[in-house]
Each structure stands twice: as structure tokens, then as C-alpha cells.
């Protein structure tokens, strides 16, 4: 009986605290802008740079735009295809080398929800959005003699670019520094709808200002 009574009192107290919570301090701004640096990882590990901006619709809810550049997202299939072609070229030319890189430029927009945390400088959040990404295939070959075109014709599987739709999901914590500055510790997952599909994981931090 005592345990049951204690449980009821505890639940009542916690419920009261939850309802009494004021919106997080991040909500008292009209919006924010920040620059972002991240580690991008998947089949390869690379870097990502960009920026993010948001506007407050109401306490706890913002719209945002996230744009950036990922230096390399080379999938295993692209590396394998390039190696096969390079081996053939090197055998015919008597020597050579190759390099493979697949950079991605993207832009997405969506909704950001900040969880209410009473009187805290830390504001955890989740976000979701969609947009587009430009995926480039940068595969370069060098040969000991002559030109690459003397030995092989590079197809669209190893060259060119495509722009496809993209969705993005994210979580993070905004750390407020005074009334203006904010550090955003974050993780983002992106799915680009290329022919074989491309996942982009990004983890890092942003530094920005609120207005």
C-alpha cells in the first residue's frame, strides 16, 4: 500500500514538473544562422562543410535550410569499376595510375523540433527535411605513354554527374553561449536517391548566432 501511494505521489509530482516546464531558452529567438564542419562517413571517411539557417514558427518549432558540400562519398561499386578499367589501361600502356572521388553538393529544407527543457542552456532537438543533391563522379586515369583515350573510352558509370532527390534526418543539442551565440553538436543522416542509392552520415558541430 505504501509503495502504491508513493508511486502515485511520484507520478503526480513528475507530471506537474513536466507541465510546468517553460520552453527552452533557444525559443526566445526569431531564428539562427550557423557554419558547420562535420566528419562524413560510410564506405569512405571524408569531411563535410556547409551552413544552416532557421526561423522560429512558434516556441519549440522552427523551419530550417541546410546546405553543404561533402568531399567524398565514393561507394564500393565505383571504386571496383575504376580499378578494373585502370588495370586494363595500365597493362596496355605499360604503366599508370588512377584516383577516385565522388563529391556531393546538397541542399535540404524541413522542420526542426526543440524539446522543452526548463531553464537550461542545452536544447536537444530532432529534425527532418528533404531537398536535392548533386553527385559527381571524379575518376581520373594517367598513363605512362600516350593519352587515356588511346586505350579506353570512359563511360557514364565512371564520369559525369546526376542530381537526385534527398531526404535528411537529424538529431543534436544546441548549447547556448550567452544570449547570441550557440554551439550545435549534431548528427545528420541523408539518403540520396541515385540509381543504387547513397547514404551520407555526417557528425560534427556548428557555430552560429541567434537573432
pLDDT digits (tens, 9 = 90+) for 7-34: 433 444 334 433 334 445 555 689 999 9
CA 22 – CA 48 distance, rounded (Å): 35
E-strand spans in 42-158?
45-58, 61-70, 96-101, 104-114, 122-143
What are the cell numbers at 19?
507541465
Domains and CATH numbers, the chain: 23-210 (2.40.160.20)
Minimum mean pLDDT range among 17-21, 41-45, 95-99, 174-178 = 17-21
Q: What number of CA atoms fall less than 13 Å from residue 71's CA on the CB side?
A: 11
For residue range 63-79, what is the model confidence (pLDDT) as tens digits? 999 999 999 999 999 98
As a whole number, the mean pLDDT across the chain is: 87
This prediction has a pTM of: 0.82
What per-residue confidence (pLDDT) applies to 32?
Answer: 97
- Of 21-25, 105-109, 165-169, the one with minimum mean pLDDT is 21-25
Amino acid at each position: 500500500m505504501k509503495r502504491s501511494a508513493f508511486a502515485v505521489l511520484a507520478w503526480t509530482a513528475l507530471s506537474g514538473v513536466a507541465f510546468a516546464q517553460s520552453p527552452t531558452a533557444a525559443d526566445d529567438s526569431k531564428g539562427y544562422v550557423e557554419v558547420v564542419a562535420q566528419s562524413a562517413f560510410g564506405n569512405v571517411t571524408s569531411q563535410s562543410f556547409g551552413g544552416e539557417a532557421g526561423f522560429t514558427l512558434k516556441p519549440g518549432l522552427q523551419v530550417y535550410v541546410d546546405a553543404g558540400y561533402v568531399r567524398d562519398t565514393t561507394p564500393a561499386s565505383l571504386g571496383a569499376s575504376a580499378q578494373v578499367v585502370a588495370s586494363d589501361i595500365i597493362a596496355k600502356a605499360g604503366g599508370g595510375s588512377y584516383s577516385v572521388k565522388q563529391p556531393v553538393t546538397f541542399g535540404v529544407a524541413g522542420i526542426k523540433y526543440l524539446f522543452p527543457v526548463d531553464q537550461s542552456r542545452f536544447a536537444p532537438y530532432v529534425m527532418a527535411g528533404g531537398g536535392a543533391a548533386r553527385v559527381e563522379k571524379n575518376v581520373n586515369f594517367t598513363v605512362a605513354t600516350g593519352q587515356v583515350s588511346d586505350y579506353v573510352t570512359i563511360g557514364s558509370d565512371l564520369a559525369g554527374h546526376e542530381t537526385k532527390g534527398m531526404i535528411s534526418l537529424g538529431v543534436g543539442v544546441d548549447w547556448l553561449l550567452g544570449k547570441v551565440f550557440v554551439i550545435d553538436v549534431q548528427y545528420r543522416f541523408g539518403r540520396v536517391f541515385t540509381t543504387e542509392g547513397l547514404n551520407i552520415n555526417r557528425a560534427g558541430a556548428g557555430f552560429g548566432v541567434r537573432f
